[in-house]
Amino acid sequence: MTSSANPEQKHGPGRPPKPPVESSSALCQLGGHMRRLRLASGLTLMTLGKMTGYSWQHIGAIERGNVAPSEELVIACDRALAAGGRLIAAFPAVVREQASLRHKRVAARRDGVMSADLDVDWSRLAAAARRPSAVSTALVEELEQITDRQRLLYHELSSAEMLISVEAHLGLLVSLMRGIQNAPLRHRIASAAVEAAGFAAWLWLDLGDQFKMNTLYGMTGSLLEEADNPGLGCYIAGYQALAAEASGMGREAIRYAEAARNQAPSTSSKVALSWLSAIGANAVALTCDRRSALSLLGQACDYFGAANGKEEWMYDFDHSALAVYRGQCHLRLGQPREAVAALQVGLAELPDGCDRRAAFLAIGLAEAYLRGHEHDGAIHHANRALAVFAARGSTAGLMRVLNFRNLLAKVGHQRDAEDLDQRARHHLASQT
């Protein structure tokens, strides 16, 4: 007699698989999402196990919410199920949830040990130690530097990997605010929290989750009231304009860009004003208003030239960053030659280690070359961008490459479009 070892076997004796218990926990939500994707792909647990290198029993336990997965397993399943980063994006919430559960278990054991009838009330002493910590100026200065360091890592790590540390930093800052009475220190902690929330929102945009992006941008609104920092407010509004623009919402992008420029304090640096004008130019270019877009782009260049490299700002806005906006603006206005010139300057001025920015410059050049009928250059730069965006798990970047691929097919280069598809499959296989 042959035993049935194949999970979810469609024929044969035995009861059908037990449906997973619905739960609001992050672990059960991840498991349920993984199961739905697997079933939609027509895969059994055993097949998915073979594709990922993990046992089907272990994957089944994860789908039921009984076992917390490792990050490596989630990444492998995300790729095998072509989830587009959705499973990876859900993993940080599981990490936080599991950490919270461990903390509660440890606290419960500690309280149980300390409940003996002793002269000193040790349990109350332990509870007192869990009150908000005292926050010093030196501690605030250390915390303020963390987001700056995380921005540098953004060019080295994937967005999913970055989210874990960025959201943990945000949670710490919000927690510390509860115990701060000193107004200047509270303003500074709130400002650091605004930066962290804005950065996390941008990472969620990069992963293609606009709901979580909007939730975090909503969080910045209440934090900005605590921060009392107009300059930071225009910074967040500027990024909201970029997020709306990336989603093709021209009117929303223009509204946020105008709000950002209007909120900019009189003490704003010329570098900051250059960035805000460049954002406005790109937003207006979505409406094909050439005159207004070029006027704002000219202002951006004038402000940047007036700064003459003597000013610093919270955002690393240099010649190569400005070139990204200039190239995109010219592309939207149907000026491929001007776009190529701007983007080539950007690549020449690019600092070491800015791989993501290099990829956006490259995909911009690919689009500009294709519109200028320079086919070989277009394909070269598209492949360059694809490699970086695939390695960093950037949904937003990969969508730019996909749009280029579709444009290739539309203008009659079907074979090149299929070659780009093949390269995408190769990158997927090499990372599985």
Could you give the CA distance from residue 216 to residue 173 in angstroms, rounded to a whole number? Answer: 14
The answer to whether residue 214 scores a pLDDT higher than 50 is yes
Asked if residues 140 and 193 have their Cβ atoms less than 8 Å apart, the reply is no
pTM higher than the cut 0.75? no
* pLDDT tops 90 at residue 120: no
Distance (Å, whole) CA 350 – CA 154: 16
User: Does 122 have pLDDT greater than 60?
Assistant: no
CA-wise closest residue to 327 among 303, 292, 374, 362: 362
Q: Which CATH architecture has domain 26-106?
A: Orthogonal Bundle (1.10)
Question: What pLDDT does residue 116 have?
Answer: 47
Helix/strand number for the chain, H first, E second: 20, 0
Of 348, 299, 351, give the one whose Cα is nearest residue 326.
299
Tokens of 274: 């250059």
Residues near 93 by beta carbon (within 8 Å), at least 6 away in sequence: 26, 29, 30
Specify the pLDDT at position 10.
44
Q: Is 65 exposed, middle or buried (0-12, 13-18, 19+ CB in 10 A)?
A: buried
Inform me whether the pLDDT recorded for 223 exceeds 70.
Answer: yes
- Higher local confidence (pLDDT), 264 or 126: 264
Q: CB atoms < 10 A from the CB of 332, how many?
A: 21
At 17-63, the pLDDT tens digits run 555 544 578 899 999 999 999 999 899 998 999 899 888 988 998 99
pLDDT exceeds cutoff 80 at 110 = no
The DSSP result for 164-194, as a single string, is HHHHHHHHHHHHHHTT---HHHHHHHHHHHH
Q: What is the pLDDT of residue 178?
A: 76
Do 62 and 25 form a contact (C-beta atoms < 8 A)?
no
Is-contact 253 283, C-beta < 8 A? yes
**Between these two residues, 326 and 267, which has the higher pLDDT value?**
326
Diameter of the chain measured on Cα atoms: 86
- For residue 5, the model assigns a pLDDT of 47
Tokens of 297: 């782009």
**Which DSSP state fits 350?**
P
Residues 221-244, buried b or exposed e (16+ Cβ, 10 A)? eebbebbebebbbbbbbbbbbbbb
Rg (CA), the chain: 25
> What pLDDT shows up at residue 314?
53
Greatest mean pLDDT among 117-121, 127-131, 222-226, 381-385 lies in: 381-385
> Under a CB-based contact definition with an 8 Å cutoff, are residues 236 and 194 in contact?
yes
Neighbours of 168 (CB within 10 A): 16
The tokens for 319 are: 């010649």
CATH code 1.25.40.10 region(s) in the chain: 318-432
Q: Is the pLDDT of residue 2 over 60?
A: no
Q: What would the pLDDT profile of 302-320 be if each residue is shown by its tens digit?
A: 999 888 765 555 567 888 8
pLDDT tens by residue, 4-16: 444 444 443 334 4
Q: Is pLDDT larger for residue 68 or for residue 113?
A: 68
Q: Are 192 and 171 in contact (CB under 8 A)?
A: no
Per-residue pLDDT at 1 = 38
Pairwise CA distance, residues 68 & 27, whole Å: 7
Average of pLDDT values for 118-130?
Answer: 53
Angle at 267 between CA 261 and CA 269, to 5 degrees: 75
- Where is average pLDDT lowest: 82-86, 282-286, 323-327, 368-372? 82-86
Average pLDDT over residues 388-415: 88
The CATH class given to the 318-432 domain equals mainly alpha
Give the residue range(s) of CATH 1.10.260.40 domains in the chain. 26-106
Average pLDDT of the residues of the chain? 83
Percent of the chain with pLDDT over 70: 85
Name the DSSP letter for residue 393. T
Q: Please tell me the predicted confidence (pLDDT) of residue 318.
A: 84
Residue 287 has pLDDT above 50, yes or no: yes
Q: Is residue 181 over pLDDT 90?
A: no
**Residue whose token pair is 């999402």:** 33
pLDDT tens string 141-166: 888 888 888 887 887 788 888 888 89
Do residues 256 and 244 touch, judged by C-beta distance below 8 A?
A: yes
Lowest average pLDDT, out of 5-9, 285-289, 331-335, goes to 5-9
